[in-house]
A and B are shown apart, each in its own frame.
Chain A
């Protein structure tokens, strides 16, 4: 306990001049909190009935279901492939590994609309490999997989690097096979990182717009995701509908964010 309490108490001695906090919090308020307050206010202004009506409209329900389903699927696929890729990048060695490792962050660097155009070129109507998935839900999943690729990998990689190989050696010397070692020794250590990577991927997928809007065709009841639904509500000046759906998405994102914070606290406690 002392290791936790001591640095915090001492830290206040090395703090910055005290105007900074006020300025920073004001900046946060103007840029982020004021707009979000306007959203809350707008969604309440219409009353609970209008809110409920907007959010239970069949096209809204369909968009929400698709968004959550696709985000969950994408988080699960990322858990498997992200962990696998992180493993290969840390434990394997081959020519060009450094380049591959740098490319992982490309989805973070590449604008979403370019990602959409990119996938459209390979998997769209003029596909050079004859594979056109536009106007299908596969397009939604593909776009989200592209955008969320780095989360699990970048969350698992550092943990895997830090992981003490002695544990695995000990397990091996006691006769455990490869997959047993992975399941019983490595995986439990990676689990918090995998989960927090999944949560980040999920949160990102729920709100993704640019890549999906390019690739999916945005057909209501079929390939229209929640963010595209909000966009079309804004365009048709249906503020109540846009506000209601925004509030639902925000609530989901907030819940996911808080669960990540909880998860990190939990795993930090286990580290000590």
Chain B
């Protein structure tokens, strides 16, 4: 009993110092000057532009990465082919590549002196220091999430039901839509939630390729760091709080959809 209470105390104290107290304090700190300054900095054109750009990037990234993730998961779990292990490792790769490196590699491809940089600039569609580069950076960084969540679910459900369906005459697509998809849907939803959170919150990769032009290529995360450096703490904390609220909603959805056995 004493051991159990001791362990409980250590676990909770660690979580409190690292996680709970800091996150609580940021809320308190944001509203330390009252509600009006927060509202003002929330509604400045620059802040609104940052939010809109963040949402735009997310809306492009999430659907594409979701379709990709489901397809890749099916490939890896349900097919046999040469180089499968390699492919499976490659999907996970973005997860272990530092965000800064993600941005840097994009500069090497699409930057002024990059492989295809001058081509796109000549066409009038510069990629680096503009929105397309930020979308590419976000896609790269959030690529693995859906596949990672769907792969274990696919493995767990096995193939018996799919076999039964095809025995009963269902075609490949029919089997997928009627049998496989319903079985993996919570895995997909969970992956989508993680992809969305990462897309909204991506900082390093976007910072490298954005140029950080206020009102044009500034996302919410870039705004937090920029305004903090400018000593406009209210603006920094307000943007951070916006992101924190999105994170809490994400967290709520994660817990709602994650098929954990202790729930």
Kindly provide the distance from the CB of B129 to the nearest chain A CB, expressed in whole angstroms. 13
Question: In whole angstroms, what is the CA distance A203 to B197 when docked?
Answer: 20
In whole angstroms, what is the CA distance A213 to B139 when docked? 22
Report how far A35 CA is from B25 CA in the complex, Å.
Answer: 40
A172: interface (CB < 8 Å): no
Query: Given the known A-B contacts A102-B251, A230-B100, A254-B96, are A110 and B243 also in contact in the complex, defined by CB atoms under 8 Å?
Result: yes
Within 8 A of A (CB), among B100-125: 100-109, 114-115
Instruction: Pick the contact of A8: B80, B91, B201 (CB < 8 A).
Output: B80
Chain A hits for B140, CB < 8 A? 31-32, 35
1/0 contact string of A93-115 vs chain B (CB within 8 Å): 01000001111111111111110
Cβ contact within 8 Å between A14 and B19 = no
Are B8 and A111 in contact (CB-based, < 8 A)?
Answer: no
Binding site for B on A (CB under 8 A): 7-17, 20-21, 23-25, 27-28, 31-36, 38-39, 41-42, 81, 84-85, 87-90, 92, 94, 100-114, 117-119, 121-123, 128, 142, 145-146, 149, 157-158, 161-162, 178, 203-204, 206-210, 213-214, 226-228, 230-231, 234, 239, 242-243, 246, 249-250, 253-254, 256-258, 261
> How far does the Cβ of B93 sit from chain A's closest Cβ, in whole Å?
6
Report yes or no: B237 in contact with A227, Cβ–Cβ below 8 A. no
User: What interface size band does chain B fall in?
Assistant: 35 or more
A38 touching B3 in the complex, CB below 8 Å, given contacts A230-B104, A242-B104: no
- In the complex, the 7 A-B pairs of residues with the closest C-beta atoms, listed nearest first: A111-B201, A207-B98, A35-B105, A253-B96, A209-B204, A14-B162, A38-B108
B19 touches A109 (CB 8 A): no
Bound: A31/B132 CA distance, A? 12
Interface digits, B212-238 against A, CB 8 Å rule (1 contact, 0 not)? Answer: 000000001100110010000000110
Kindly state the separation between the CA atoms of A92 and B4 in the bound complex, as whole angstroms: 7
Of the residues B163, B176, B197, B203, contact of A108 by C-beta under 8 Å: B197
Pairwise interchain contact B172-A14, C-beta atoms closer than 8 A: yes
Residue in A closest to B85 when the chains form the complex, CB atoms = A261
Q: Is the CB of B25 within 8 A of A122?
A: yes
Q: Which chain A residues border B10 with CB–CB below 8 Å?
A: 81, 84
Complex interface bits, B144-175 against A, C-beta within 8 A gives 1, otherwise 0: 00000000000000110011011000001101
Chain A CB within 8 A of B248 CB = yes
Query: Chain B's nearest CB lies how many Å from the CB of A109?
Result: 4
> Which chain B positions have C-beta within 8 A of A7?
158-159
The A contact surface, by secondary structure, is helix
Chain B residues within an 8 Å CB radius of A108: 194, 197, 254
Complex Cα distance A192/B248, Å?
Answer: 31
**Most chain B CB atoms below 10 A, which of A107, A122, A178, A204:** A122
Question: B103 contacts which chain A residues (CB < 8 A)?
Answer: 234
Pick from A14, A25, A118: contact of B163, CB under 8 Å: A14
Q: Is B244 an interface residue (CB 8 A)?
A: yes
Query: Would you give 7 A-B contacts (Cβ < 8 Å), ordered by A?
Result: A15-B74, A16-B78, A102-B252, A105-B251, A118-B26, A122-B22, A123-B22
Q: Residue B59 at the A interface, CB < 8 A?
A: no
Question: Which of A36, A110, A119, A207 has a CB less than 8 Å from the CB of B247?
Answer: A110
CB pair A257 B89 closer than 8 Å: yes
Inter-chain contact A261/B88, CB cutoff 8 Å: yes
User: Which residues from chain A contact B60 at a C-beta distance below 8 Å?
Assistant: none
Considering only CB atoms, which chain B residue lies closest to A228 in the complex?
Answer: B100
Chain B residues with Cβ under 8 A from A9's Cβ?
A: 80
